[in-house]
C-alpha cells in the first residue's frame, strides 16, 4: 500500500494534493489547479461503475494484463460494483469517444492505463463528477489524477546484470516513442550497465507503438544484427525476448515474468503491480474521500526487478542485489552527478542528485545512448 | 417446360443496384447479430444500446458528427479519383501530410485567425495535392499503377508525422507526450464540439455533385474514366484531366487532415488519421463514386464506427467492428456483381 510515510522515508516525493503538484510541473512552471474543490461525493458500491481504458489487449501478458489484474482485484474487493474495460484504444479522437462513452455509461471512476493527453483531459473537464486517473499523465485537473511507477530504479539494477552479461558492451533497446519513460528507462539501464562495463553503449529503435509484436520482433532482430548482445525495451509483450533466445543473446523485459518465452535469454523483468493502488483509490472514491493524487509507486511497492533468470551468474546477481538493497534503504541514489547528455553537455553537476520530478520528466539521453534525441 | 437462365448485362440497373446495396447492409448486420447471439450476447439489447448512445444524447451526436466529417473528406477524395478510373489508396497519407502542412503554418506563422484558417486550409490542400503528385505523374507519364504508389506514400507520411510530433515539433511545455503543442488557432465550433469542418465537407460534396453533373469538365472526366481511348479519340485532354482530378483528390484528403488537426484534435500527433483514409475507400466504393452518395455512406460508416465504440464499452473487442465493416463490403461486392444479372425464363427448345 502506498502511504505518504513510506514515500517520504525513501526520499520519494509525496505527490499528494498538498505537496505535490510539483511532480507534474515541468521547469517552465505552468500553473496546476489548486484543488480547492472538495472530495467527490460518495457512491454506493452497488451503483458504482469503474471503467478501465487500455492501450493494448488484456491478453498481452504484460502491461495491460497487469492493469487487468488490478481491475480484477477491485472486483474482488468490492464485489457489488460493476467493472468494465476497453482494450487497444488508439491515440486518436477515438480515445475521446471511448472515454466519453464510459461517462455516458455512468462510470464514477475511469482509469486510463496509458497517457492519452488531451483526449482524456477534454473528457474529464466536461465530466467534473467523475474521478479520472491517467497513467504517466502530465496535465492534472480537480478530477484528474496521475499515477506511474518509478521504474528507473529497477531499470538501473537490471542494467548492472545486463552490463555484466554483455561481452560486446553493446546494448539494444526496443522503444515505443521518444517519451520520458523511454528516456528514463534507457538512461537508467545504461548507467547501471556502465558500473560494470564502463565502455557500454545503448542503441534504441523506436517502433511507434507499445504493443506491436511484429515490429518489436523486427527491431530486436535489427539490434542483434547490429552487434547488440543484450536487449531491453518497453514493450507490452515478449516479442524481442524470443528473438534474443533464438539468436543466443540476452534480454531484460517489462511488466511480468516472461522467462518461459526465453529461459536462456531471460535476465529479469521490470515487474509492475497496480492492484493495491487501484483497490485503495476505488475505496476512497466509494466512501467520498477522493481527491486527485499524483502517485509514483515506489521501488518495492508496485515496481520491482523480477527474480533473476537461470543463466544469470550468482556473483552478478549478488552484485545487483546489493545495489538494489542500498537504493531501497536510501543509502545510495544512482542518479547523481556528474551526468552528461548525448551531446557532451554536463546536465547534472557533480554532487547534485536528480529529483523525482526530473526523473519523471527526463527528456534527454545520456552520453552513450543513441537513437532517441532528434 | 421452362428453365431459368441468368443473363449478364454490361451495366447494372441503378435501382436494382441500390436495392441490393441496402440488402447487403441488412445481411451484414444480420450476420453480425447471429454471431453475437451465438456467442451468448443479446444482439437486440446491444443494437438498442448502440442506437440510443449514438442518437439519444448530444454526446453521441457530437461524436457521430466528428466521425462523419473526416469520412466525407476521405470518401470524396477516393470517389473523385474513381470518376476518372484512378484508385487513390493514399488518402491516409494525404490526410496526414495535409495535417502536417497546416500544423506547420499554425505553429510557425503568426497571424490573425481570420487569415490563418484560410491559409491553413490552403496549406492542407496543397500538402495533400503534393503528396499525390509523384504517383499522379508516374501514372500519367510512365503508366505506373497509382494503386501501389499512393499506398506506399502513406507510410512515409505517417512516419513523418510521428517523427515531427515526437522530435522537432514536440510540445515544449512537457505537459503532453508525443504530440505538438496545442495549435494557436482552431476551426471554430458550430455546435458543441462539432466544428466548421462538417458543413464545409457537406458543401464540397454538393459542389462536386453539381460539377460532375452539369459541367462539360465533369462530363469529360466521366468519359475519360469510362473509356480513355475513346475520350482521347474524341479530342479530350485525358492526361491533363487525370492529373487535375488526382491532384483534386489529394487536396480533398489534405483538407480533411487540416480540419482534423485544427478542429477535432487541436494538435498534430502520430495516428491522427485514425484510418479515415482507408475507410474512405470503403465509403467511396459503397457510394459508387457519387459525391452525394458519399454523404450517405460516410454517415452510415460513421454510425457503424460509433456503434463500434459503444460495443467496445460493452465488452466486445475492436476486431468485431472491423469484421462488421468487412462483412458489409463483402456483401456489397456480391450485391454489385449480382445486380448485373437478369433472370430470364425461356422454354426448352427455344434459344
**Closest residue to A87, CB basis, from B59, B266, B317:** B317
Q: Tell whether the model's pLDDT for residue A30 goes beyond 60.
A: no
Measured distance CA(B291)–CA(B295) in Å, rounded: 7
Check residues A18 and A185 and name the one with the higher pLDDT: A185
The DSSP-derived string for A136-172 is T----BTTEEEEEE-THHHHHHHHHHHHHT-SS-EEE
Measured distance CA(A234)–CA(A177) in Å, rounded: 10
Sign of CA dihedral B328, B330, B331, B334: positive
The DSSP-derived string for B236-298 is --HHHHHHHHHHHHHHHHHHHHHHIIIIIISS-BTTTTTTHHHHHHHHHHHTTT-HHHHHHHH
Query: Which of these, B85, B78, B17, B76, lies nearest to B223 by C-alpha position?
Result: B85
CB contact under 8 A, B313 and A57: no
pLDDT in tens, A99-126: 999 999 999 999 999 999 999 999 999 9
CB contact under 8 A, A179 and B166: yes
At residue B1, the pLDDT reads: 57
Q: What Cα–Cα distance (Å) separates residue A25 from each residue in A28, B17, B181, B292?
A: 8, 60, 16, 50
Nearest CA-CA distance, residue B225 and chain A, Å: 36
Is B264 exposed, middle or buried, given 0-12, 13-18 or 19+ CB atoms closer than 10 A?
Answer: buried
For residue B64, the surrounding DSSP H or E stretch is helix B58-83
Measured distance CA(B280)–CA(B75) in Å, rounded: 4
At residue B3, the pLDDT reads: 79
Domain borders along chain B are 73-298
Q: Tell whether the model's pLDDT for residue A354 goes beyond 80.
A: yes
Phi, psi torsion values for B80, nearest 5 degrees = -60, -45
CA torsion A72-A292-A63-A210 (nearest 10°) is 140
Q: What Cα–Cα distance (Å) separates residue A152 from each residue in A88, A106, A169, A197, A303?
A: 26, 37, 20, 19, 10
How do A303-305 and A266-272 pair as beta strands?
Answer: antiparallel
Residue from A22, A84, A100 whose CB has the most chain B CBs within 10 Å, to mutate: A100
Q: Tell whether the model's pLDDT for residue A26 goes beyond 80.
A: no
Measured distance CA(B49)–CA(B314) in Å, rounded: 9
Q: Tell whether the model's pLDDT for residue A13 goes beyond 60.
A: no
CA B320 to chain centre: 20
pLDDT tens per residue across all 351 residues of chain B: 567 888 888 777 888 888 888 888 899 889 989 988 998 889 999 999 999 999 998 889 999 999 999 999 999 999 999 999 999 999 999 999 999 999 999 999 999 999 999 999 999 999 999 999 999 999 999 999 999 999 999 999 999 999 999 999 999 887 888 999 999 999 999 999 999 999 999 999 999 999 999 999 999 998 998 888 899 898 889 999 999 999 999 999 999 999 999 999 999 999 999 999 999 999 999 898 999 999 999 999 999 899 888 888 888 887 877 888 788 888 888 888 888 888 887 765 544
- Supply B26's cell numbers: 441488412
**Inter-residue contact B337 to B10 (CB < 8 Å):** no
At residue A374, the pLDDT reads: 63
Query: Which of these, B317, B312, B195, lies nearest to B256 by C-alpha position?
Result: B195
Check residues A5 and A260 and name the one with the higher pLDDT: A260
CB contact under 8 A, B271 and A91: yes
Phi, psi torsion values for A74, nearest 5 degrees = -65, -45
Chain A contact present for B60, CB below 8 A: yes
CB contact under 8 A, A138 and B162: no
Q: What is the pTM of this model?
A: 0.90
pLDDT in tens, A271-314: 999 999 999 999 999 999 999 999 999 999 999 999 999 999 99
CB contact under 8 A, B313 and A98: yes
Q: Does A338 sit behind a cis peptide bond, omega within 30 degrees of 0 on the bond before it?
A: yes
**Inter-residue contact A244 to A267 (CB < 8 Å):** no
**Mean pLDDT, chain A, as a whole number?**
90
CB contact under 8 A, B318 and A138: no
B177 CB neighbours in chain A (<8 A) are 115, 117, 136, 138, 177, 179-180
Looking at residue A299, the DSSP 8-state letter turns out to be B
CB contact under 8 A, B174 and A177: no
Percentage of residues in chain A with pLDDT exceeding 70?
A: 90
A361 CB neighbours in chain B (<8 A) are 174
Measured distance CA(A249)–CA(A226) in Å, rounded: 12
Chain A contact present for B61, CB below 8 A: no
Residue from B166, B192, B268, B277 whose CB has the most chain A CBs within 10 Å, to mutate: B166
CB contact under 8 A, B177 and A105: no
Chain A contact present for B274, CB below 8 A: yes
Query: Which of these, A102, A138, A66, lies nearest to A363 by C-alpha position?
Result: A138
Nearest CA-CA distance, residue A98 and chain B, Å: 6
Measured distance CA(B202)–CA(B217) in Å, rounded: 21
A88 CB neighbours in chain B (<8 A) are 317-318
Q: Tell whether the model's pLDDT for residue A239 goes beyond 60.
A: yes
At residue A15, the pLDDT reads: 40
Closest residue on chain A to B311 (Cα): A86
Chain A contact present for B53, CB below 8 A: yes
Residue from A54, A84, A95, A104 whose CB has the most chain B CBs within 10 Å, to mutate: A104
CB contact under 8 A, B310 and A101: yes
Total residues belonging to chain B: 351
Closest residue on chain B to A51 (Cα): B313
Looking at residue A53, the DSSP 8-state letter turns out to be E
Measured distance CA(B272)–CA(B74) in Å, rounded: 14
For residue A303, the surrounding DSSP H or E stretch is strand A303-305
Instruction: Tell me which residues of chain A have a C-beta less than 8 Å from any C-beta of chain B.
Output: 24, 26-28, 30, 51, 57, 84, 86-88, 90-94, 96-98, 100-105, 115, 117-118, 122, 136, 138-139, 177-180, 206, 208, 361, 363, 374
Nearest CA-CA distance, residue B182 and chain A, Å: 9
ipTM of the complex: 0.88
Query: Which of these, B308, B91, B59, B293, lies nearest to B191 by C-alpha position?
Result: B59
Rg (CA), chain A: 20
Percentage of residues in chain A with pLDDT exceeding 90?
A: 88
Chain A contact present for B55, CB below 8 A: no
**Mean pLDDT to the nearest integer, A154-173:** 97
Domains recognised in chain A with CATH numbers: 4-150+273-297 (3.40.50.2300), 152-271+303-370 (3.40.50.2300)
At residue A265, the pLDDT reads: 97
Q: Tell whether the model's pLDDT for residue A132 goes beyond 60.
A: yes
A29 CB neighbours in chain B (<8 A) are none
CB under 8 Å to B31, separation ≥6 — which residues?
B327
Helices (H), chain A: 4-9, 21-24, 63-77, 93-104, 117-125, 152-164, 180-194, 213-225, 239-247, 275-287, 314-328, 356-360
Residues 184-213 on B with a CB inside 8 Å of A are 193
In the numeric block, the cell 509492475 is attached to A272
At residue B196, the pLDDT reads: 97
Measured distance CA(B255)–CA(B128) in Å, rounded: 7
Q: What Cα–Cα distance (Å) separates residue B181 from each residue in A145, A231, B28, B269?
A: 21, 33, 42, 10
Amino acid at each position: 500500500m502506498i502511504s505518504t510515510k513510506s514515500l517520504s522515508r525513501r526520499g520519494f516525493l509525496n505527490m499528494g494534493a498538498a505537496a505535490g503538484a510539483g511532480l507534474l510541473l515541468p521547469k517552465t512552471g505552468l500553473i496546476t489547479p489548486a484543488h480547492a474543490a472538495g472530495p467527490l461525493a460518495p457512491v454506493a458500491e452497488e451503483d458504482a461503475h469503474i471503467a478501465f481504458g487500455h492501450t493494448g489487449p488484456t491478453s498481452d501478458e504484460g502491461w495491460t494484463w497487469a492493469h487487468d489484474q488490478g481491475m480484477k482485484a477491485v472486483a474482488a474487493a468490492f464485489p457489488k460494483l460493476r467493472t468494465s474495460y476497453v482494450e487497444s484504444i488508439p491515440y486518436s479522437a477515438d480515445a475521446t469517444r471511448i472515454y466519453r462513452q464510459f461517462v455516458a455509461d455512468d462510470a464514477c471512476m475511469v482509469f486510463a492505463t496509458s497517457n492519452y493527453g488531451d483526449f482524456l483531459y477534454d473528457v474529464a473537464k466536461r465530466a467534473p463528477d467523475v474521478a479520472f486517473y491517467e497513467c504517466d499523465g502530465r496535465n492534472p485537473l480537480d478530477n484528474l489524477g496521475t499515477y506511474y511507477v518509478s521504474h528507473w530504479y529497477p531499470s538501473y539494477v537490471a542494467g548492472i546484470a545486463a552490463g555484466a552479461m554483455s561481452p560486446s558492451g553493446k546494448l539494444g533497446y526496443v522503444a515505443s516513442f521518444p517519451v520520458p519513460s523511454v528516456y528514463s528507462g534507457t538512461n537508467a539501464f545504461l548507467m547501471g550497465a556502465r558500473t560494470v562495463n564502463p565502455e557500454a553503449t545503448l542503441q534504441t529503435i523506436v517502433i511507434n507503438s507499445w504493443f506491436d509484436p511484429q515490429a518489436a520482433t523486427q527491431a530486436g532482430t535489427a539490434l542483434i544484427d547490429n552487434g547488440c548482445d543484450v536487449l531491453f525495451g518497453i514493450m507490452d509483450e515478449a516479442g524481442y525476448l524470443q528473438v534474443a533466445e533464438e539468436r543466443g543473446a540476452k534480454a531484460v523485459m517489462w511488466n511480468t515474468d516472461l522467462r518461459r518465452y526465453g529461459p536462456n535469454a531471460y535476465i529479469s523483468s521490470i515487474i509492475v503491480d497496480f492492484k493495491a493502488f487501484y483497490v485503495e483509490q476505488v475505496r476512497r472514491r466509494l466512501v467520498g474521500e477522493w481527491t486527485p493524487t499524483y502517485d509514483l509507486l515506489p521501488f518495492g511497492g508496485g515496481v520491482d526487478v523480477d527474480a533473476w533468470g537461470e543463466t544469470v551468474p550468482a556473483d552478478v546477481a549478488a552484485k545487483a542485489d546489493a545495489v538494489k538493497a542500498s537504493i531501497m534503504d536510501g543509502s545510495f541514489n544512482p542518479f547523481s552527478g556528474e551526468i552528461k547528455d548525448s551531446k557532451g553537455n554536463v546536465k547534472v553537476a557533480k554532487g547534485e542528485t536528480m529529483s523525482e520530478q526530473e526523473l519523471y520528466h527526463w527528456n534527454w539521453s545520456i552520453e552513450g545512448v543513441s537513437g532517441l534525441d532528434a | 417446360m421452362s428453365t431459368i437462365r441468368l443473363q449478364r448485362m454490361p451495366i447494372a440497373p441503378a435501382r436494382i443496384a441500390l436495392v441490393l446495396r441496402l440488402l447487403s447492409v441488412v445481411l451484414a448486420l444480420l450476420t453480425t447479430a447471429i454471431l453475437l447471439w451465438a456467442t451468448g450476447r443479446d444482439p437486440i439489447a446491444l443494437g438498442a444500446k448502440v442506437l440510443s448512445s449514438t442518437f439519444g444524447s448530444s454526446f453521441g451526436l457530437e461524436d457521430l458528427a466528428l466521425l462523419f466529417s473526416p469520412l466525407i473528406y476521405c470518401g470524396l477524395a477516393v470517389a473523385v479519383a474513381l470518376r476518372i478510373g484512378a484508385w487513390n489508396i493514399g488518402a491516409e497519407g494525404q490526410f496526414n501530410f495535409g495535417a502536417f502542412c497546416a500544423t506547420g503554418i499554425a505553429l510557425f506563422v503568426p497571424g490573425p485567425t481570420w487569415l490563418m484558417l484560410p491559409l491553413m486550409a490552403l496549406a492542407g490542400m496543397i500538402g495533400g495535392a503534393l503528396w499525390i503528385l509523384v504517383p499522379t505523374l508516374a501514372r500519367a507519364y510512365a503508366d505506373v499503377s497509382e494503386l501501389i504508389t499512393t499506398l506506399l506514400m502513406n507510410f512515409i507520411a505517417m512516419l513523418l508525422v510521428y517523427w515531427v510530433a515526437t522530435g522537432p515539433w514536440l510540445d515544449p511545455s512537457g505537459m503532453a507526450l508525443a504530440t505538438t503543442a496545442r495549435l494557436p488557432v482552431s476551426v471554430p465550433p458550430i455546435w458543441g464540439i462539432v466544428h466548421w469542418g462538417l458543413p464545409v465537407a457537406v458543401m464540397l460534396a454538393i459542389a462536386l455533385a453539381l460539377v460532375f453533373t452539369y459541367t462539360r469538365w465533369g462530363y469529360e472526366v466521366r468519359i475519360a474514366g469510362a473509356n480513355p481511348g475513346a475520350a482521347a479519340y474524341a479530342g479530350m485532354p485525358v492526361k491533363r484531366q487525370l492529373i487535375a482530378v488526382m491532384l483534386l483528390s489529394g487536396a480533398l484528403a489534405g483538407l480533411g487532415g487540416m480540419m482534423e488537426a485544427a478542429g477535432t484534435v487541436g494538435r498534430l500527433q502520430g495516428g491522427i488519421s485514425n484510418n479515415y483514409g482507408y475507410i474512405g475507400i470503403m465509403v467511396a466504393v459503397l457510394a459508387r463514386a457519387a459525391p452525394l452518395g458519399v454523404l450517405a455512406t460516410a454517415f452510415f460508416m460513421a454510425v457503424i464506427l460509433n456503434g463500434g465504440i459503444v460495443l467496445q464499452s460493452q465488452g466486445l473487442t475492436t476486431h468485431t467492428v472491423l469484421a462488421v465493416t468487412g462483412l458489409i463490403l463483402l456483401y456489397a461486392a456480391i450485391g454489385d456483381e449480382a445486380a448485373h444479372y437478369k433472370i430470364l425464363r425461356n422454354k426448352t427448345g427455344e434459344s
